[in-house]
Amino acid sequence: MTPALRERFERLAFRLSELDANLADPAVSADAKRYRALSREHAEVSQVLALFRRCQQREADLASARTLIDGDGADPDLTALAREEIAAAETDLERLRADLQAALLPRDPDDDRNAFLEIRAGTGGDESALFAGDLARMYLRYCEKQGWRTEVLSAHESELGGYKEIVMRVEGDEVYRKLRFESGGHRVQRVPATESQGRIHTSACTVAVMPEPDEATEVEINPAELRIDTFRASGAGGQHVNKTDSAIRITHLPTGIVAECQDDRSQHRNKAKAMAVLVARLREKERTERVAKEAATRKALIGSGDRSDRIRTYNFPQGRLTDHRINFTLYKLGQVMDGDLEDVVAALQAARAAEQLAQLEAGSH
């Protein structure tokens, strides 16, 4: 373990004593929101320090065992025991150090948020819309496997099936942390159902995943800069379709960003949902612009998440999925399209963790 990392743990120990004092303060106890936040930080810091102390203990055990072997005229039985202890301590230390490094990585405050997931058909016409439908089904199945709740906010279906665009809200534990790397261009290579010659076509869709803001106040919006239109919901939607102007479309005039919701028969609830999507899109625009500036000085491993990035290819003839950002390939496309995304998500998270660790160590020197 580097001296810089040890210094970080010493600072954490000092922070834990500060948190103990804060949590004992009656004024903090009276503020429920602040008390919850400090309690959460206290639990996280305590967990990291417990790992560090365990690591220190095993380092001491390792050093003691080595002195038994190094001594002259050491007892053979003691030497054998010492060798066993050395092997066990080295194994424990490797695991503990990996756990410690992971615990030190900075967490994105958005990781625990719910998210809006958008899928848009791109190049490829009808086949692109069909692929957008396949992606929507893939994500819905994945969300179901995760135990998350999904809600389709708006959907524009194409004539042959699939979607020109679909926007859904996903609610559950660590939704954004697991879905964040889905943003970008998704390319499909397959023989379309409409292709009579059996030729492989390439088409594409774009996916955007945006964390759901806590409240609309996170982004300052001047009501005078909004145009709000009502219209009749279209497509599948039950008894109320085309009977009332309950669907809402909100346009942010300075940026031209549009959000709509036609899911609910209540105009008021549709307006609230559309406003939440609009705020998320405005936050995402700010984030993308910020990342673009940072990328000018440092190329990110995972990519900016910009929608123009081609992040992944789904090759149906070969049953292959390739994520181009980390050169990751899986030959289980059928299972992936059925919502088995765990291997892909885990590989992307591991790549991000490795990049964060490299930055952490570079900043420590």
Secondary structure (DSSP) of 36-92: HHHHHHHHHHHHHHHHHHHHHHHHHHHHHHHHHHHSTT--HHHHHHHHHHHHHHHHH
* In a shared domain, residues 151 and 264: yes
* In a shared domain, residues 100 and 239: no
CA-to-CA distance for 137 and 323, rounded, in angstroms?
A: 19
Q: Express each pLDDT in 256-303 by its tens digit.
A: 888 888 877 778 888 888 888 888 888 888 877 776 765 554 444 444
pLDDT over 90 (residue 323): yes
Determine, yes or no, domain membership for 238: yes
Count of the separate structural domains present in the chain: 2
* In a shared domain, residues 98 and 138: no
Determine, yes or no, domain membership for 360: no
Kindly report the pTM of this predicted structure.
Answer: 0.67
Which of 104, 137, 158 lies at the terminal end of a domain, its last residue?
Answer: 104
CA-to-CA distance for 331 and 237, rounded, in angstroms?
A: 38
Q: Are the C-beta atoms of 177 and 112 separated by less than 8 Å?
A: yes
pLDDT class for 215, splitting at 50, 70, 90? Answer: low
Residue 298: which domain range?
A: 115-354
Which of 52, 80, 104 lies at the terminal end of a domain, its last residue?
Answer: 104
Listing from the earlier edge strand, what are the strands of the sheet with 320-323?
149-157, 163-171, 115-121, 201-211, 184-190, 310-315, 320-323, 328-330
Handedness of CA 137, 143, 147, 152 (dihedral sign): negative
* In a shared domain, residues 176 and 54: no
- What pLDDT does residue 32 have? 84
Highest mean pLDDT among 11-25, 103-117, 260-274, 330-344: 330-344
